[in-house]
Structures are given as C-alpha cells and as structure tokens.
Amino acid sequence: MNVGFIGLGLMGRPMALHLARAGHALHLWARRQASFEPFADVDATLHASPAEVAKQADIVFTMVADAPDVEQICFGPGGLAEGARAGLIVADMSTIAPAAARDIGARLAQRGIGFLDAPVSGGEKGAIEATLTIMVGGNDEPFARIRPLFEVMGKSVTHIGASGAGQVAKACNQILTGVTVAAVAEALNFARKSGVDAAKVREALLGGSAYSRILEFHGSRMLAGNFAPGFKAWMHQKDLRIVMEEAHRLGLALPNSAATAQLLNAMVGSGMGEEDSVAVYKLLERLSG
C-alpha cells in the first residue's frame, strides 16, 4: 500500500519505519531535511509538499504537535486537500481537541476525503517497540481499511466511536496519566522528606493496592533522576490545556486535573518543558527545599 506519513519526530519516525518494514511504500514530507535521514534504507519517497504526498498515497498519517499544525497540513497552501485523490483517508494520530478533530473531519468530508482521529498512548518507547495504544474516532469503513496499519504500530487498537471520540479517549488517558504521575511524585517526595528510603517505599507499594504501571516504571525514573524525554512536559501541558478547555466548555469540575495542569505550567515556566513530564518530581523537590 502507498502510505503517506507527515510528522517525523520522536513518535512519528519509528511509527513510519514500522510501516515501511511491514512492506508498505512510504511517501514523506517534513519541514527539516534531517527528518528524512532514518529512511535512507527503506522504500520511502520524499516529497516537496503534503499535496504531493496526497497525490501518491492511499492513506496519509499525520503525527504533529497540535490542531493548527494539522489544519495547516490539510488545508494550507500545498496541503493534503490540494493533492488528494478520490478515496484518500487521512488518519491524524496527533493529540488535539475533540472539537478540532470533528471540524477537520467535516471539512475534509466536504472534499471527499475520509478522516479518522487516532491519538496514541505509550510515548516514544511504545512507538519504538510498536506497542502503542491507539484510540480511534470516525466512521466504520475507513477504520476497517486502516486497522491493519494501526496494528503494525500498536498492540491495542480500539474504535471508540464517531469523529472526535478518539480524542475524548486520549483526553481521559491524559487525565489519568497526568494525575497519577503527580501523585507518585508527591508520594516519593513525601517519603524522602520524611527521612525514609523512597526506593524501599516504592518497592513496598508495588506489592499492594497502590500498584500502578506509572509507579513501577516512572517511579523508578524519578528516583534515578532520569528525566530524558519520552514524553516532554510541554506536550503534557498542552494536553491538559485541552482537557481544561473541554471541561470549561462542558461545565465540568476537574479539580485534580486542574492542579496537575498547574504543576505542568510551573514546569514549563521554570525551564523544564523539554524534560519528561516525570520531572514533576524534580519540581516538587525544589518546592520542598
């Protein structure tokens, strides 16, 4: 299959490489020439614009930072809509607001282009190991066509519902992961400030009802001071901004999400935006003296 991929960053690069290694011909576009270097040894063609990608591809995946980037790729000068052939499907795997996904999908539909919102969870590690969790919104027919490609990139693929539903699921994921990361950081910092071995506290908690994958994997990173980005704090900040904007629109109280969003704001504001979001532990250490 001819597959387009736009957004070759920490996540998109390994995702696209999995598709190439599964035997699909890649059609790529990126703003930076360096993004193409990992694709020198696979069946990949570099194009001058998203429109040129759309002329060659049956399906185009996008994996970019936020809704304005997706809109520019789809509708800007030289965008996908300019070059799209009949039957093209665009699957956006970025994390954007549900309302933005629904709007982009409706505008593409007016041009005869199918659309799925398919955000992912699993971070850079999941992208490299092809173990991502993929949450999909959109119609049944395009989902059925693309599902085998999703399964190349992830271990869990769930069709949540209509357009925008994938982004709602991702927002729920970011609530749970963000709040839990903050809670684990608070607990380990509390242990440390109490003069107790935080590593042994973590070991004990892993054996009881407080167990979580975040305590197991990210708790270890916190104690080791390993804040190299798998998921950058500024990205988690953006995702929680989406959550809080949706909560405001819906009239929902999300007090734990709001507190976590403020911690992420503080991380970015204090120069920690490029570190992993688990560096909230370091922020709490600073606040605790």
Q: Count of CB atoms within 10 A of residue 194's CB?
A: 9
pLDDT tens sequence across 64-100: 999 999 999 999 999 999 999 889 999 999 999 999 9
Comparing C-alpha atoms, which of 112, 38, 117, 32 is closest to residue 70? 117
Once rounded to an integer, what is the mean pLDDT over residues 191-214? 97
Which 3 state secondary structure label does DSSP give 289? coil
Confidence check: pLDDT of 33 > 90: no
Comparing C-alpha atoms, which of 278, 15, 60, 51 is closest to residue 154? 15
Query: Are β-strands 120-121 and 132-137 bridged in parallel, bridged antiparallel, or unpaired?
Result: antiparallel
Once rounded to an integer, what is the mean pLDDT over residues 166-174? 97
pLDDT at 70: 97
Of all residues in the chain, the percent with pLDDT exceeding 70 is 100
Once rounded to an integer, what is the mean pLDDT over residues 207-213? 96
Q: Which residue segments constitute the domains of the chain, with CATH numbers given?
A: 2-161 (3.40.50.720), 168-287 (1.10.1040.10)
Taking a C-beta distance cutoff of 8 angstroms, is the pair 281, 189 a contact? yes
Taking a C-beta distance cutoff of 8 angstroms, is the pair 78, 110 a contact? no
Amino acid at 137: G
Confidence check: pLDDT of 241 > 90: yes
Once rounded to an integer, what is the mean pLDDT over residues 245-269? 97
Cβ-proximal residues to 247 (8 Å cutoff; 6+ apart), any chain: 253, 254, 257
Which H, E and C letters describe 88-102, residue by residue?
Answer: CEEEECCCCCHHHHH
Comparing C-alpha atoms, which of 67, 68, 62, 71 is closest to residue 89? 62
DSSP 214: I
Which residue numbers are catalytic? 170
> What is this structure's pTM?
0.93
State how far the Cα of 151 lies from the Cα of 153, in Å rounded to an integer.
Answer: 5
Confidence check: pLDDT of 285 > 90: yes
Taking a C-beta distance cutoff of 8 angstroms, is the pair 234, 268 a contact? yes
Once rounded to an integer, what is the mean pLDDT over residues 236-256? 96
Which 3 state secondary structure label does DSSP give 121? strand
State how far the Cα of 132 lies from the Cα of 152, in Å rounded to an integer.
Answer: 10
Adjacent-strand bridge partners of 148 = none
Which 3 state secondary structure label does DSSP give 13? helix
The secondary element (H helix, E strand) that includes residue 4 is strand 2-6
> Chain centroid to CA 43: how far?
25
Which 3 state secondary structure label does DSSP give 274? coil
Confidence check: pLDDT of 240 > 90: yes
